[in-house]
Amino acid sequence: MLGGLGRLKEELQQYIEWPLKNPELFEAIGIKPTKGILLYGSPGTGKTTIAKILACQADAYFISASPADITSMWYGQEEKRVRAMFQLAREKNPAIIHVDDIDGLFPKSRELMHEATHRALVQFINEMDGLRDTGGVVVLGSTNRGLDSLDQALLREGRFDRKFHVPLPDFRGRIEIFKIHTGNMPISEDVNFEKLARETKNFSGAKIKTCCELAGYNAIRRYCNEKNVKVEDIRFDLIKEIKVCNKDFQKAVISLVK
């Protein structure tokens, strides 16, 4: 579950899910479905997670490619790998190709690109241009960097022409994210999510998740110290005694703010 993204998820759904689920409708209305969607924003804001959720909801065949899969396993053969990926997507139609951290694959400066990577980029662009206008295959890219860190040819009309910024969560968003990641925790009554949200300005969703996990560890450590017991001896009823309290969160926030 993702918190604090407002209407972004629904908006993305209309570009991804609608045309994959009902291509005839798009033809009848006379609009060409979007072929490429790019999510960009700071690390840990939930881009990879959104892509996975959208793919799951769209009921489409999902092909996931990160630069690590493409370049390390296929060193020197990236072009072939790109071709195979698109071929599979066309066969499995409807399909989503997700290229995570796409800036790592196709960075801005072609001069710095390995020759094989350059061929892969050209292949990738040709494949995107060659996708039928009637839809069936959507390419979803994500990057932790700004749009100017990418090869600009990728951003042209008909390629990744829908770009969505995934922002750091605002105050309300941070409260939602704290609630999501403490959903299974025994939380003490002194924990105040609004206060935590005020103290975690500029935290990404991922950082808030880490904060909750650290608070859990802090609670266990505190309990052991207070009761003078070892972790392995906290069993049965004792487990139920532990609550993650404000102090545990405060410590976690301080360690992450540094």
Ligand X SMILES: Nc1ncnc2c1ncn2[C@@H]1O[C@H](COP(=O)(O)OP(=O)(O)O)[C@@H](O)[C@H]1O
Nearer to ligand X, 113 or 206 (CB): 206
The distance of closest approach from Cβ of residue 257 to Mg ion in the complex, given in angstroms and rounded to an integer, is: 23
Binding mask 122-141 for ligand X (x = CB under 6 A): --------------------
Of the candidate residues 19, 33, 36, 44, the single one contacting ligand X (CB under 6 A): 44
- 3-11, 14-22, 27-35, 116-124 -> range binding ligand X (CB under 6 A): 3-11
Which residue, judged by CB position, is nearest to ligand X in the bound state?
A: 205
Which amino acid is located at 105 in the chain? L
Residue number with CB closer to ligand X (27 or 199): 199
| Part of the chain binding Mg ion (CB under 5 A), chosen from 45-53, 82-90, 173-181, 248-256 | 45-53
- Chain-centroid distance of CA 136 in Å reads 22
Residues 208 and 177: beta-carbon distance below 8 Å = yes
Q: CA-CA distance, 252 to 247, in Å (whole number)?
A: 9
Residue 47 burial (CB count, 10 A): 24
Closest separation in Å from C-beta 198 to ligand X: 18
Residue type, 247: K
Binding test (CB under 5 A) with Mg ion, winner from 48, 182, 200, 204: 48
| Closest CB 193 distance from ligand X, rounded Å | 14
Give the separation between CA 132 and CA 59, rounded to whole angstroms. 20
Contact 123, 83 (CB under 8 A): yes
Smallest separation, CB 64 to Mg ion (Å): 11
Regarding 168 and contact with ligand X (CB under 6 A), the answer is: no
The secondary structure of residue 167, as a DSSP letter, is P
Cα-flanking dihedrals φ and ψ of residue 37, to 5°? Answer: -130, 135
Q: Is 216 exposed, middle or buried (0-12, 13-18, 19+ CB in 10 A)?
A: buried
Give the nearer residue to ligand X in terms of CB position, either 45 or 218. 45
For 63, the enclosing helix (H) or strand (E) is strand 61-65
**In degrees rounded to 5, what are phi and psi of residue 97?**
-105, 120
Name the residue nearer to ligand X (CB basis): 167 or 186: 167
Hey, which residues between 202 and 221 contact ligand X (CB under 6 A)?
Answer: 205-206, 209
Query: What residues line the site for Mg ion (CB under 5 A)?
Result: 47-48
Q: Which residues bind ligand X (CB under 6 A)?
A: 2-5, 43-49, 144, 169, 177, 180, 205-206, 209
